[in-house]
Every structure is written in structure tokens, then in C-alpha cells.
Amino acid sequence: MPRRSDEEWASEARSILLRQLALGARSRHQLARKLADREIPAAVAAALLDRFEEVQLIDDAEFARMWVRTRTAAKALSRSSLRRELADKGIDPDLAEDALLQISDEDEHAQARDVVRRKLRGSADLSDRAVRDKEVRRLVGVLARKGYSPGTAFSIVKDVLADAEAQD
């Protein structure tokens, strides 16, 4: 197999990057990993990634802000879960923290309360201690899977259940 020139590698890498970006926003780290998977030489990949950043086709700060907005709306994830996801995508911790500023403590708690209200079984007899305890454990588990700390999850579930009982 004939050796490829840097121009041929760059052309292939450019095609890979453009296809990836056509599918949706990607972090520099994700794109670099894709190029490495396709065995694009590191020097060619770095130069092309730098150029794509220069012309703002790659913008990790904007990617992080968009990721936080969409994942919050779609999955109601906690900031700690979002922070972990951004780290997995190779986002610099400072950029991640800036993006997470979009979510206040009040927003995060309101979002968790909404999740608990949606997941609360209307048929559950909360006056029965065993049923109530089981429901609390289930709802705390729902929030835990979304990245909420146990203390926060218990507090929110307790508040929502108190509200539900007050309305009955």
C-alpha cells in the first residue's frame, strides 16, 4: 500500500471532522479521539483541530453550555452528573464550571421536585408506613441515578410527599 502524503491525510481527516460535526456538536477531545481511531497522524490531526477551533467549528465552551442546556432539559440531571459527563467529553474543568453556572441551586432543586412529582405513584397509600418507606426509597433512587446526593434527594422527596399529603 503506497504511503499517504500529509495532504492526503489532512483531506481524509477534514472529511471525518466535517461528517462528525454534521451529526452534531462535538468537543475537541471527542474529535481528536475519532481521528486517532481512524489512525490519522497526530501532527496532522492537531493542526486540523487547531484550524477548526480557529474558525470556530470547534468551540468547547459553547459545546459545554449547549450540553448542559440540553441534558438538563431532557434528563433533569444534577450538576454533578453533568460535570462528570463533560469531563468524559474532555471538557476543561473551568469551561465545565462556567457552563454549569447556567443552573442555580434553585433551578436544580425545582427540577428534582418536578421529577419526584412525575414519578410519585398516585395510587400509593402514603398513610401506610411500609408503603411510604418503599416509595421514599424508590424516589430517592430515581434522584440518585440522576446524580443527586442522598441528603438532597431525601430532603426533596420528603418535601414533595408532604405537599402531596397536604393536598389530599
Which pLDDT belongs to residue 2? 63
Mean pLDDT of all residues in 14-20: 97
Share of the chain above pLDDT 70, in %: 98
Q: Is the pLDDT of residue 168 over 90?
A: no
Domain coordinates of the chain in residue numbers?
Answer: 6-58, 61-100, 105-167
The three-class DSSP label of residue 105 is: helix
Average pLDDT value for residue range 155-164: 92
At 38 the pLDDT is 96
| Positive or negative torsion for Cα 135, 152, 107, 94 | negative
- Determine what percent of the chain falls in helix, strand and coil, rounding each to the nearest 5: 75, 0, 25
Topology of domain 6-58 in CATH is: Arc Repressor Mutant, subunit A (1.10.10)
The span from the CA of 135 to the CA of 124, in Å, is 8
Q: Mean of the pLDDT values across residues 46-54?
A: 97
The band of 1, judged by pLDDT with boundaries at 50, 70 and 90, is: low
Percentage of residues of the chain with pLDDT beyond 90: 85
Residues 6+ apart with CB under 8 A from 158: 136
Q: What is this structure's pTM? A: 0.85
Q: What is the mean pLDDT of residues 36-40?
A: 96
Tens-place pLDDT, residues 74-132: 999 999 999 999 999 999 999 999 999 999 999 999 999 999 999 988 777 888 899 89
Whether residue 66 is predicted with pLDDT greater than 80 in this model: the reply is yes
Question: Mean pLDDT of all residues in the chain?
Answer: 93
User: Is residue 90 within 8 Å of residue 28, measured between CB atoms?
Assistant: yes
Q: Could you tell me the CA-to-CA distances from 107 to 94, 150, 156 in Å, in that order?
A: 21, 18, 13
Average pLDDT rounded to a whole number, residues 135-159? 95
Q: What is the pLDDT of residue 28?
A: 97
